[in-house]
């Protein structure tokens, strides 16, 4: 058995619309943090701490080091993640939309299929006919509950402006075709499932045409499904089908998405 990591990290070095920030407390600095945590809970503890009093010194701590600690301030849409129906809208198919905690885990573990669109380049978009052609190329017929991975190579642009602004996105007819085959989970190796967002914003604001803004996402108000964004290394999967995908999302209370360690099990 081989496990292939398809995930991108939550990275505070990336400059994006919703940047992540990570406060890192080192092992050495953890001694001071430990003193503050303990003393801040005691009567007059903060004042005593501010005056330089300590309940434990570095010499009293094993090796002069406490545990490391990272505090992450991040959108649930940073790094590889699963979008739940609630992200698309408050209702789905006439009922309250599922939040990330509500997504059935059965949707998040199952047979994987990679569809290769690396021959397409921005401003190309993936339509239904492209999906049909990609399936014909690998001689595969989708089954209900397959997990479909859209391979564009967009992850290679990570850290550049093009990762945010110039990538191959999907059109609603392509997504709807997958849903017609019984797909509940799909994923893409770009920052978003739709075409580049600022391009959509410009077209929507100039025309006020509702079809121009997040059409693949808003489709999820009418038909229930989940999708993953910001995948990576889809080209490392050695065959287009005959493997398993695991994309179990982190449970974030009352949220429309959750980070996931997405892997292919071959």
Please state, for a pLDDT cut of 70, what percent of the chain lies above it: 100
> What is the model's pTM?
0.95
End of a domain among 73, 94, 111? Answer: 73
Please state the length of the chain. Answer: 266
We report the CATH number of the domain holding residue 250 as: 3.50.30.50
* pLDDT mean over 140-162: 97
End of a domain among 73, 96, 116? Answer: 73
Q: What span, in angstroms and rounded, lies between the C-alpha atoms of 248 and 100?
A: 10
Question: Based on the domain organization, do 45 and 164 belong to the same domain?
Answer: no
- The rounded mean pLDDT for the chain is 97
pLDDT of 17 strictly over 90: no
- 83: tokens are 């979008």
Q: What span, in angstroms and rounded, lies between the C-alpha atoms of 104 and 87?
A: 16
What pLDDT, in 10s, does the model give residues 218-254?
Answer: 999 999 999 999 999 999 999 999 999 999 999 999 9
What's residue 15's pLDDT? 87
Report the number of distinct structural domains present in the chain.
Answer: 2
Query: 3-class SS at 134?
Result: helix
Domain that holds residue 58: 21-73
* pLDDT mean over 158-165: 95
CB proximity list for 255: less than 8 A, separation 6 or greater: 76, 84, 86, 99, 100, 101
- 174: tokens are 């392509």
Query: 3-class SS at 41?
Result: coil
pLDDT of 166 strictly over 90: yes
- Pair 112, 236: CB distance under 8 Å: no
Question: Based on the domain organization, do 113 and 166 belong to the same domain?
Answer: yes
What pLDDT, in 10s, does the model give residues 50-107?
Answer: 999 999 999 999 999 999 999 999 999 999 999 999 999 999 999 999 999 999 999 9
């Amino acid at each position: 058995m081989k496990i292939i990591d398809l995930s991108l990290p939550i990275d505070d070095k990336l400059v994006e619309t919703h940047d992540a920030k990570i406060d890192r407390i080192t092992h050495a600095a953890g001694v001071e943090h430990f003193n503050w945590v303990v003393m801040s809970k005691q009567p007059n503890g903060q004042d005593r701490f501010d005056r330089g009093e300590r309940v434990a010194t570095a010499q009293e701590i094993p090796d002069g080091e406490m545990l490391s600690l990272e505090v992450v301030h991040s959108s649930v849409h940073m790094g590889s993640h699963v979008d739940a129906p609630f992200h698309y809208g408050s209702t789905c198919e006439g009922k309250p939309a599922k939040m990330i905690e509500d997504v059935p885990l059965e949707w998040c573990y199952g047979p994987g299929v990679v569809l290769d669109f690396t021959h397409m380049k921005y401003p190309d978009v993936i339509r239904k006919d492209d999906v049909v052609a990609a399936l014909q190329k690998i001689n595969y017929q989708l089954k209900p509950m397959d997990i479909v991975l859209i391979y564009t190579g967009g992850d290679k642009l990570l850290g550049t402006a093009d990762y945010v602004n110039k990538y191959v996105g999907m059109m609603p007819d392509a997504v709807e075709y997958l849903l017609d085959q019984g797909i509940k989970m799909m994923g893409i190796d770009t920052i978003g499932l739709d075409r580049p967002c600022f391009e959509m914003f410009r077209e929507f604001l100039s025309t006020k045409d509702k079809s121009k803004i997040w059409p693949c996402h808003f489709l999820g108000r009418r038909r229930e499904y989940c999708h993953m964004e910001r995948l990576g290394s889809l080209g490392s999967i050695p065959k287009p089908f005959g493997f398993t995908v695991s994309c179990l999302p982190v449970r974030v209370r009352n949220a429309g998405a959750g980070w996931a360690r997405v892997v292919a099990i071959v």
